[in-house]
Amino acid sequence: MKETSKKGKSWFYRWFLNNQATVFLINVLIVFLIIFLFSKIGFVFDPLWQILGITMPPVILALVLYYLINPLINVLERKFHVNRIISITFIFIIIAALLVWGIMSLIPFVQSQIDSLIKNWPNYWDYLNKSLQKMFADPKMSGVRERLVEANTNLSKSVSKSMNDILPQTFNNIGSAVGIVTNVVMILLTAPFILFFMLKDDKKFKQSVLKFVPDRVKKSTGEMLSEISQSLSSYITGQLTVAFWVAVMFFVGYLIIGQRYALILGIVAGILNLIPYVGSTLALLPSLVIAAFIAPAMVLKVLIVFAVEQTIETRVISPIIVGNKMQMHPVTTILVLLVSAGMYGLVGMIAGIPIFAILKIICTRIFRWFKRNSNWYSAEEAEQEAETVTTAADTPVENKTEAQNDPEKLDPSQKNHK
């Protein structure tokens, strides 16, 4: 009877209505069609992008501070039974005191070093150019010399043109300058209030989001949100902690060798270290230029400091603090950095890795769901995938076995699959 029913079906039914590959391609086509239609009516979403552009900066700043402070709040609440609001208030007072101390003592010293560096930078750059010209004065190096001179000329022209275009627009347009300052002040004033309620309502936030999720996918959505939060927490705390110690190591190393502007160069190294793999190398360049102006031996000392810092960072600090919590292959990380930097510049290089990690978690969850509910994979693979998801969610094995043996306790999608 089954053979007769199959033969009785038309070719249209067999190739289109009852063909999984065709249905999959049609769904992909519909998705791209929806994306195309949205691209044609993008002006409808302009107010939404403006709202996000205004609200996201303080939210992102508060989120970064949340992942730094929340572990300490949780420890005080669980182990020492300190009221959450009291501990939040106490930490806010400490942060405010540190900010006041930094503004009163640290910032004037940093500002003086920045002013001195900006004033003397042209002399350092000219000295480096002359040293390179003497180095390549040999006729055998004429080809390399010409290329370096051409590259230097093009770079100087590009920088001069950019500064000539940007500076008048920045400083002559008073309204624009006031607007930028106002936005920065509003971000700094708004972020603490957002941070306070994030810390206060830490356990309520997830439940508030899950209220809008259908019951059938509420559990998996909660697990996904927890996984995303844990991944972001690991990345943010790890990167900022490593950046802090990198800044300290460079600062101490430069003080030992007598390098000028040790504090500024250390701070720059810590900030640039937020860019994986290439941050510390980029921070080395201005230090080498200044060292070349002082003495050739200073260049060697700076390179030794860099080598010691890289050894300590890669062998001690990063494995202990960060480890492999992001579960990303180095090649994947480099490719993500190249794409994000090419599309969004420095901001993309800093934010590309965590955004990719979030997308990876979401896509992995969707693929697992598809694998469990699709007929494209064997029952053994689907069962192994279900066990993987259950284990990741820390669900007891006994509950899972009981649900498999009792059809009434199965999820509706699992019933259909069986």
Average pLDDT of the chain to the nearest whole number: 78
More confident residue, 97 or 342: 97
The vertex-228 CA angle with 339 and 375, nearest 5°, equals 85
Question: Could you write out the three-class secondary structure of 234-288?
Answer: HHHHHHHHHHHHHHHHHHHHHHHHCCCCHHHHHHHHHHHCCCCCCHHHHHHHHHH
Q: What is the mean pLDDT of residues 76-84?
A: 90
pLDDT tens track for 245-297: 999 999 999 999 999 899 899 999 999 888 877 787 888 988 988 888 888 88
Q: What is the mean pLDDT of residues 66-91?
A: 91
Residue 22 lies in a domain: no
CA dihedral 266, 269, 274, 278 (to 10 degrees): -160
State the Cα–Cα distance between residues 196 and 130, nearest whole angstrom: 55
Q: What is the mean pLDDT of residues 30-45?
A: 86
Residue 177 lies in a domain: yes
H helices present in 278-396, as ranges: 279-294, 296-312, 318-321, 330-373, 379-392
Residue 113 lies in a domain: yes
State the Cα–Cα distance between residues 49 and 21, nearest whole angstrom: 37
Residue 115 lies in a domain: yes
More confident residue, 153 or 197: 197
> Model-level pTM greater than 0.85?
no
Residue 187 lies in a domain: yes
Domain count, the chain: 1
- The answer to whether 123 and 293 are in contact (CB under 8 A) is yes
pLDDT tens track for 170-199: 444 444 556 677 788 888 899 999 999 999
State the Cα–Cα distance between residues 80 and 74, nearest whole angstrom: 10
The vertex-191 CA angle with 180 and 206, nearest 5°, equals 135
pLDDT (0 to 100) of residue 16:
65
Q: What is the mean pLDDT of residues 90-110?
A: 87
Residue 123 lies in a domain: yes
pLDDT (0 to 100) of residue 3:
47
Band of the pLDDT at 391, cuts 50, 70, 90?
low
More confident residue, 374 or 54: 54
Tokens of 394: 């820390």
Q: How far apart are the first and last CA of the chain?
A: 23
Residue 106 lies in a domain: yes
Residue 337 lies in a domain: no
Least confident of 7-11, 157-161, 205-209, 311-315: 157-161
- The answer to whether 313 and 246 are in contact (CB under 8 A) is yes
Tokens of 417: 């699959």
Residue type, 180: I
Res. 57: pLDDT tops 80: yes
What's the domain range around 89? 51-141+167-200
pLDDT (0 to 100) of residue 265:
92
pLDDT (0 to 100) of residue 21:
76
Band of the pLDDT at 352, cuts 50, 70, 90?
confident
